[in-house]
Amino acid sequence: MNKLITSLFLLFFLASLTVFANDNNNKEEEGKKDKKGLKRKYEQPDIPGIIYFSLGLNSLNNRPQVFKLNGWGSRTFEVYYFYNIPLGRSFLALRPGIGLSMNKFSFKRLAGRRDAFTLVDSTRTITLIEKLTRLDQFQFLTRVFKSQFELDFIDIPFFLYFWSENELKRKGFFVAIGARLGLRFDSKTKVKFRQDAKVKINKRKGKFTFNNTRVSIGARAGWKNFSAFWWWTTSRIFVRGQDPQQIIPVTDQLQFVGADRMNYMTFGFSVSFL
């Protein structure tokens, strides 16, 4: 939580610097006279930065059988700040940025919603994928509401925008292509279940042999402040050679799940604020 608060503070601090700089420039111009001797009026600052709020759904590529996901539960929320760099008076603009991305992956429930898989951080080099009912803290549960794991990243995205009108107007239809580099700052699991006639929540933080970094390529298309986006995170979710292992119920022996090539895509919608 402390890492998340620090990251959010950094993001909005950078955004506020842009607003403050533009506001000061406009105030310096206020009161000055133009060539005709008339005082210049203070105008609303033209902020070059844009903040994007995005919500999307995740789907896994190259997934093993046990990694079946619940659609709506596997979602991503992003907050990105972009600095807008118009390329002259053309239809193009560059937008480098920084932001946060919270990515959830929810396992499908099993056996009439009375069981589900979860990740167990066994050691620094081994992650287990197990049924909840085989773990001591979930004995005698009567219903599973959700079982998910979450990956949180600080991202540095970069986009090239093309507008149907002059970019300086910031109006009309646009398309963009880009990429991002992410650094994982948190990972955890969450299980919501009913046990002893009570609804309980179990949260666990751990490394789970997740990759610490990610690389994604993406695209965006929209109209004015609204857009649809797509990310393909080409990096593997788990460290190669350290993908999860599953305990076989009959023999209790470990068996590799085969998730070392698993990556994911995200589709969603965004709204932006100048």
Q: What is the pLDDT of residues 112-121, one digit of tens each?
A: 889 999 999 8
Q: Answer yes or no: is pLDDT of 180 > 80.
A: yes
Q: By the 8 A CB rule, do 104 and 150 touch? A: yes
With tokens 């066994």, the residue in question is 122
Quick count: other Cβ atoms within 10 Å of Cβ 259?
Answer: 22
Strand partners, 60: 264
Q: What is the pLDDT of residue 42?
A: 45
Q: By the 8 A CB rule, do 195 and 141 touch? A: yes
Q: How far is CA 250 from the centre of its chain?
A: 38
With tokens 């506020």, the residue in question is 16
Instruction: List the single range of 44-58, 60-74, 228-242, 254-268 with lowest mean pLDDT.
Output: 44-58
Residue 20: pLDDT band (50, 70, 90) is very low
With tokens 């059988």, the residue in question is 65
Sheet holding 245-247, edge to edge: 117-121, 127-131, 245-247, 254-256
Query: If residue 175 lies in a helix (H) or strand (E), which one and from where to where?
Result: strand 173-195
Q: Average pLDDT of 183-201?
A: 95
Percent of the chain exceeding pLDDT 70 equals: 80
Q: What is the pLDDT of residue 271?
A: 96
Q: What is the pLDDT of residues 111-166, one digit of tens each?
A: 888 999 999 987 767 899 999 999 999 988 999 999 999 999 999 999 999 988 76
Mean pLDDT of the chain: 85
Q: Average pLDDT of 218-230?
A: 95
Q: Which residue has the higher pLDDT, 187 or 28?
A: 187
Q: What is the pLDDT of residues 45-76, one digit of tens each?
A: 555 689 999 999 999 999 998 999 998 999 99
Residue 44: pLDDT band (50, 70, 90) is very low
Q: Answer yes or no: is pLDDT of 219 > 90.
A: yes
Q: What is the pLDDT of residue 252?
A: 80
d(CA 126, CA 124): 6
Percent of the chain exceeding pLDDT 90 equals: 59
Burial class (CB in 10 A: 0-12, 13-18, 19+), 52: buried
Entry pTM: 0.82
Strand partners, 175: 162, 221
d(CA 76, CA 54): 8
Q: Which residue has the higher pLDDT, 48 or 7?
A: 48
| Amino acid, res. 81 | Y
Q: By the 8 A CB rule, do 273 and 224 touch? A: no
Q: Average pLDDT of 161-176?
A: 78
Q: Average pLDDT of 175-185?
A: 97
- Residues 256, 103, 152, 194, CA torsion sign: negative
**270 dihedral zone (left: phi>0; alpha: psi -120 to 50; beta):** beta
